[in-house]
Structure 1
Amino acid sequence: MKFPFRLLLCSVVAFSAGCATQPPASPSTTAAPAARPAPTPLLLISIDGYRADYVERNLSPTLSALAEGGVTAESMQPSFPSLTFPNHYTIVTGLRPDHHGMVNNTMFDPALGEFSLSNRKAGADGRWWAQGTPIWETAGRSGLNTATMFWPGTEAPIHDYRPDHWQPYDGSVTPEQRVDQVLAWLDLPADQRPSFLTLYFDDVDHAGHEHGPDSRQVNAALSKVDAALARLVDGLKQRQLFDRINLIVVSDHGMASVPAKNSVMIEKLIPLDHVQTVSMGVLAGFNPKPGFDFAKIEAKLEKPQKHMQCWDKTRVPERFAYGSNPRVPQLLCLADVGWRITTRAYQAKKLKDGKLSLGEHGYDNADPRMKALFVAHGPAFREGAQIPAFPNVDVYPLMTHLLNLTPAKNDGDYNAVKDALKSEAQ
């Protein structure tokens, strides 16, 4: 499960269009903005874990057709670390993880405690997300209706604000049901119909973790998600919306194969009871623990190591743009691509349960296996065009331009992606 959050007092499978809605603004938060002409709707779609070269497997005909009739990038570079929550939040804020605060899937904050994918309470706490301003907040406060079918952060009241319509994450909700909910939102009366929407699929990522990126299970997941995209396209065509909505299809990162034997057993190198362990896996993080010589531990790990590199957070390579945020642990160890950082006890348990991940991400974001997807289609986009690779922070200024919004402070560059648009839409 990628986003296990606190459930609402409504049934996600009922898919009532108004099930989870933004409550009326109080005078102390947001007054209703003046009415404004609705822009062309924008639907942002994430296929979690869709590596850029997966499209070459010819298992995504709907996605390929969208690319042929629209714009595709050579690839899209994820932000470091190439993990799910950091990159999904980067896409909707235009901020690198070091700036928006979601620096890992697993974190520690002295004021807030621990954050992890399984911590429902933390995921629903807007303070974890408050260093960034997501596009649904900017759009909503500008008078646009918004709706999110799963996206990290949408279940938390960020700056006391949520999307107008949203669903708590539930991994049992099928791709087809997710599509149907988006179509139901687009069926709302004009004054309630969302101008900005998200749609999230996680099947490809799950299959990649469980079986590796070269598995038949990943191929099956590619076909399954593409069938859901076909359902979406058909539904848009039935509503005469296909040529009147802008679609942006992205992924958050790629995937690399990690054989079971490729494990760095960290307890062989440092005494784990002498540090606060914040995270393990591809990017391991450690903080000092009172009473122990952390400088000695750092000095040892920062020496050349087999299958990983370690740095004090102040010495992380500049190209990662990572290490200044207080939530970044003091000592970081990044596994070489194709390796994991773990302990013997943890690996033994995972092997016993048959749950050891054979595919991973989070690695150096410049590695080809981490490359992400970008495809765009709609009235604003050129047809049959390809643009050069670009970093995913640039998706945000592209979206705010399409929605005619004043962007929040961000790290993106609209000029890097404006050639995806028709000249009259630039």
Structure 2
Amino acid sequence: MNRLPRLLLCSLLALAGCATHPSVLTPEAKAQQAKVAATAPLLLISIDGYRADYFDRHLSPTLEQLAATGVHADSMQPSFPSLTFPNHYAIVTGMVPDHNGIVNNNMVDTQLGKFSLKDRSAVRNGLWWDQATPLWETADANGLRTATMFWPGSEADIQGEHPDYWKKFKAKMKPNRRVDQILKWLDLPAGKRPTFLTLYFDAVDHAGHEHGPDSPEVDQALRDTDAAIAHLVDGLRKRGLFDKMNIIVVADHGMASVPKENHILIDTLMSMDDVEPVTTAGVLVGFNPKLGHDFNAVEQQMEQPHQHMHCWDKTRIPARFQYGSNARVPRLVCLADVGWSIATTESLAKKKGHVSLGEHGYDNADPKMRALFVAHGPAFQRGIRFHNFPNVDVYPLMAHLLGIRPKLSDGRFEDVQGMLKQ
């Protein structure tokens, strides 16, 4: 985090003959210090693509033990679209993608240009992320140290701030090394040790895309990821921290099987000459009009019923999706039915048969998109099963656990309050 404002404040107070010596701390400052010191650490873990019912495969014994002695939700509903970056940012801001500004993994902004999750310069540009405030910034502003191990948005300088500790994303970093970094941060002296931390695993999602959700490869990724969480739990126990910190394990979305032949060729249904180059592809495809072309005619044609796909002008997207008001949402949006994907003849040919056998981004109410939620720690009830709830509710829950006032959000604390001890 940028500490310059704090350093300037300390300098000014020092010139006034006060701030740096503990004996001259005001009662309010002492109370704040005591509150920070007493706050139980909170670790937020994401297992990308861990569909809620993967839990029933009994390949995650560590997660099962956390659930048995904590809270296990039937599922957690992702925000729409059920994609990686939009939902990770929804979880830490409490705002659905249409409100947090990350409306897709790939998008266009009239001022900023194009965004892609593979474009590292765009990912690290805070202007893409500043329509919402992530929890690590609010925690920092309340005197809590923060650390993020690969969370979308954490590499960007958002509203002038970073987490106190963060790492550039390295896809090849092994799960246990990611855990080891979390443990190293927890080994820091009390004044430097983070209170809010995030941890990210992606093997389950990759296996689901490459081989499909029902594949042996997904099962192995579940085992491997659970082994990394077991390594984490063992490290926390050795440090005497396991029973003293709150742990929340979530997924950003689920995964659906997509047979190789299930492709909707969008260029056979509309003229690509009338639209700007496709801004998104796959499950959710967006189109903006090309200057001088009659886009009303395009929309009228595409909003007619189509097999395996629905298209809407952004102002007519069904209200339950909470999507379409943000300027980054393309004017025309087409959503594939679960189990289908949208492509052009050219883009499909370029893949040369190498297509994803698993996809997400579909209707966020579909059971195959539902995500994992497990919580464990001193603040949570033991051994309870909780109902399905929207993922934006995790944000006010975490703010409550950290003892800080959350920003205004789409989340509702009262909907998840029942999982906490009274």
TM-score, normalised to structure 1, is 0.92
Partner of 1:289: 290
Counterpart contact for 2:2–2:160, Cα < 8 Å: no
1:268 aligns with 2:247: no
Q: 2-side partners of 1:201 and 1:278: how far apart?
A: 27
Counterpart contact for 1:30–1:141, Cα < 8 Å: no
Partner of 1:403: 402
Partner of 2:308: 307
Give the C-alpha shift of residue 25 in structure 1: 2.1
Task: State the SS of the aligned residue for 1:341.
Answer: strand
Partner of 1:68: 68
- CA deviation string 1:355-411 (max 9, x = no partner): x11100000000000000110000000000111110001000000000011101101
Q: Give 2:123's aligned amino acid.
A: G
- CA deviation string 1:239-294 (max 9, x = no partner): 01000010000000000000110000011011112201211110000011111111
Q: Give 1:357's aligned amino acid.
A: S
1:327 aligns with 2:328: yes
Give the C-alpha shift of residue 26 in structure 1: 3.5
1:417 aligns with 2:416: yes
Q: 1-side partners of 2:300 and 2:281: how far apart?
A: 19
Q: 2-side partners of 1:314 and 1:165: how far apart?
A: 40
Q: Give 1:136's aligned amino acid.
A: W
Q: 1-side partners of 2:210 and 2:10: how far apart?
A: 47
Counterpart contact for 1:244–1:378, Cα < 8 Å: yes
Partner of 2:165: 165
1:365 aligns with 2:364: yes
Counterpart contact for 1:92–1:135, Cα < 8 Å: yes
Partner of 1:178: 178
Q: 1-side partners of 2:349 and 2:383: how far apart?
A: 50
Partner of 1:9: none
Task: State the SS of the aligned residue for 1:419.
Answer: helix
Count, aligned residues: 400
Counterpart contact for 1:310–1:333, Cα < 8 Å: yes
Give the C-alpha shift of residue 74 in structure 1: 0.9
What are the within-5 Å matches in structure 2 for residues 91-110 of structure 1? 91-110=91-110
Distance 1:27 1:199, change over 3 A: closer
Task: State the SS of the aligned residue for 2:213.
Answer: coil
- CA deviation string 1:287-344 (max 9, x = no partner): 1111111111100000000110000000000100100000000000000000000012
What are the within-5 Å matches in structure 2 for residues 13-412 of structure 1? 22-26=1-5, 36=33, 37-38=35-36, 39-276=39-276, 277-352=278-353, 354=354, 356-412=355-411
Task: State the SS of the aligned residue for 1:332.
Answer: strand
Kindly report structure 1 stretches of 4+ aligned residues shifted beyond 3 Å.
26-35
Distance 1:316 1:177, change over 3 A: same
- CA deviation string 1:215-253 (max 9, x = no partner): 000000000000000000000000010000100000000
Give the C-alpha shift of residue 30 in structure 1: 8.7
Gapped regions of structure 1 (runs ≥ 5): 1-21
Counterpart contact for 2:303–2:310, Cα < 8 Å: yes
Counterpart contact for 2:2–2:161, Cα < 8 Å: no
Q: Give 1:384's aligned amino acid.
A: G
Distance 1:191 1:67, change over 3 A: same
Q: Give 1:197's aligned amino acid.
A: L
Q: 1-side partners of 2:244 and 2:272: how far apart?
A: 56
Q: Percent identity over the alignment?
A: 60
Partner of 2:15: none
- CA deviation string 1:80-133 (max 9, x = no partner): 000000000000000011111000001000000000111111111101000000
Partner of 2:22: none
Q: Give 1:376's aligned amino acid.
A: A
- CA deviation string 1:128-158 (max 9, x = no partner): 0000000000000111000000000000010
Q: 2-side partners of 1:417 and 1:350: how far apart?
A: 43
Give the C-alpha shift of residue 210 in structure 1: 0.5
Counterpart contact for 1:310–1:332, Cα < 8 Å: yes
| Bigger helix share | 2
Counterpart contact for 1:25–1:31, Cα < 8 Å: no
Q: 1-side partners of 2:293 and 2:124: how far apart?
A: 34
Give the C-alpha shift of residue 351 in structure 1: 2.9
Task: State the SS of the aligned residue for 1:44.
Answer: strand
Q: Give 2:184's aligned amino acid.
A: A
Q: 1-side partners of 2:288 and 2:243: how far apart?
A: 52
Task: State the SS of the aligned residue for 1:197.
Answer: strand
Q: Give 2:106's aligned amino acid.
A: T
